[in-house]
Amino acid sequence: MGERTSFDVAVVGAGPAGLALALGLARGGVSTALVTGPERGVDHRTTALLDGSVRILAQFGVWEAVAAKAAPLRDLRIVDATRRLVRAPEVNFRSAEIDLPAFGYNVANDDLRLALRAAAEAEPALTLLRTSLADLAVGDAAAQLSLTDGGAVCARLVAAADGRASRVREACGIAMRKRDYPQVAFTATVRHARPHEDTSTEFHTESGPFTLVPLPGNRSSIVCVVGDREAVRLMGLPDAALARELEARCFSLLGAFEMEEGRGAFPLAAETARRLVAPRVALTAEAAHIMPPIGAQGLNLGLRDAAALVEIAVEAVARGRDPGEEAPLARFEAARRRDIDARMAAVDLLNRSLLSEFLPVQSMRGFGLYLLDRVGPLRRAVMRLGVGARAA
């Protein structure tokens, strides 16, 4: 640990959200410590970073390092693959329609985290504490963070980015609002015979979406939302059988599949913190909200939390104010609450409309997609909202 033990902000957790947040703060002139937590293992998943996130990472000075490994998502196609009575038309969204070169970029989680970590290690204004948070005590002028290596630091503001089992959130006694889903996201990466042409395709099925997201080369990542028994079956299939099965699920759109290393199963969860702030504490990213992996919202939302907190803390410090006092924290809660609740509600609605056997619900979903297909201004508004254009 370095000499210094007192900071404007201590960020807890060095996942992608915490790393980006700490870099944004440090580069904005806020004295910042990052409590990294334990070293992480290999993560075979990928993350679709939408345009708003790309702009946030560029603003924090780290997009260039990430871009080198990312694949553009120029077009997005939604296919109703349900066998229901009411089926929606195929809808195609083109980023050029809203004057963007791409809706976003898909990048391997490990490439994203390693690029952010390298930038954090090289940032002289950021103090990395390679240990974990054990406990938190909030005083009048600062919070004291007790660390598992026996050390302690003080910060005027503690930013929780320590993930879904957040120790910071627990120490503050903030409860989560939870929704249960009977589904699991099965993930894998494939090589395919035909090019994806930078198009992400989402098949809507009765068990949830099946999504193909482009990676560099003739490769795509797959997120396939299924029931838990089906997920166990897919996890146990030999590579060749799994490749055939996944190829069939997308009607051989990209030709023959070959599996790459790594597959995973993630139970769908939807949780939102009842409060985003407590005295001297702000919750961000998965410490504040866990989204089902539908519509690529989770980390994109987390990066918007980071951008909002950076703006508020940088402004407070530049004016000689305390970034952990009540007013900036209230501003953060107000800035982020509506976006988080709205995205959670939209993902929940889409997921439930797929699971529903109720004809009017299926009709509503079909009609909604019909409108998106036909009504230009609505399409463009939804596309802009989808990439986070207003929030970033």
Ligand X SMILES: Cc1cc2nc3c(=O)[nH]c(=O)nc-3n(C[C@H](O)[C@H](O)[C@H](O)COP(=O)(O)OP(=O)(O)OC[C@H]3O[C@@H](n4cnc5c(N)ncnc54)[C@H](O)[C@@H]3O)c2cc1C
**Interface with ligand X (CB under 6 A):** 12-18, 35, 37-38, 40, 45, 47-48, 132-133, 161-163, 167, 185, 187, 223, 266, 285-286, 293, 296-300, 302
Integer Cα distance of 35 and 33 in angstroms? 6
Integer Cα distance of 379 and 371 in angstroms? 8
C-alpha closest to that of 213 among 380, 71, 330: 71
Cβ 225 to ligand X shortest distance, Å: 9
Q: Backbone dihedral region of 312: left (phi > 0), alpha (psi from -120 to 50 degrees) or beta? A: alpha
The two beta strands, 133-138 and 143-147, are antiparallel
* Minimum CB distance to ligand X smaller for 67 or for 364: 67
Cβ 298 to ligand X shortest distance, Å: 3
Integer Cα distance of 218 and 335 in angstroms? 40
Q: CA angle, corner 132, sides to 8 and 64, nearest 5?
A: 65
* Minimum CB distance to ligand X smaller for 61 or for 262: 262
Strand, helix or coil at 271?
Answer: strand
Cβ 319 to ligand X shortest distance, Å: 29
* Minimum CB distance to ligand X smaller for 153 or for 299: 299
Cβ 367 to ligand X shortest distance, Å: 27
Q: 200 and 211 in contact (C-beta within 8 Å)? A: yes
* Minimum CB distance to ligand X smaller for 77 or for 84: 77
- φ, ψ for residue 328 (rounded to 5)? -65, -35
Integer Cα distance of 14 and 55 in angstroms? 20
Cβ 171 to ligand X shortest distance, Å: 10
Q: 308 and 276 in contact (C-beta within 8 Å)? A: no
* Minimum CB distance to ligand X smaller for 268 or for 372: 268
CA of residue 339 relative to chain centroid, distance = 13
Cβ 233 to ligand X shortest distance, Å: 18
* Minimum CB distance to ligand X smaller for 189 or for 297: 297
DSSP letter for each residue of 110-174: HHHHHHHHHHHHH-TTEEEE-S-EEEEEE-SS-EEEEETTS-EEEEEEEEE---TT-HHHHHHT-
Nearest residue to ligand X, scored by beta-carbon proximity: 15
Cβ 268 to ligand X shortest distance, Å: 8
Integer Cα distance of 283 and 332 in angstroms? 10
Cβ 14 to ligand X shortest distance, Å: 5
* Minimum CB distance to ligand X smaller for 147 or for 254: 147
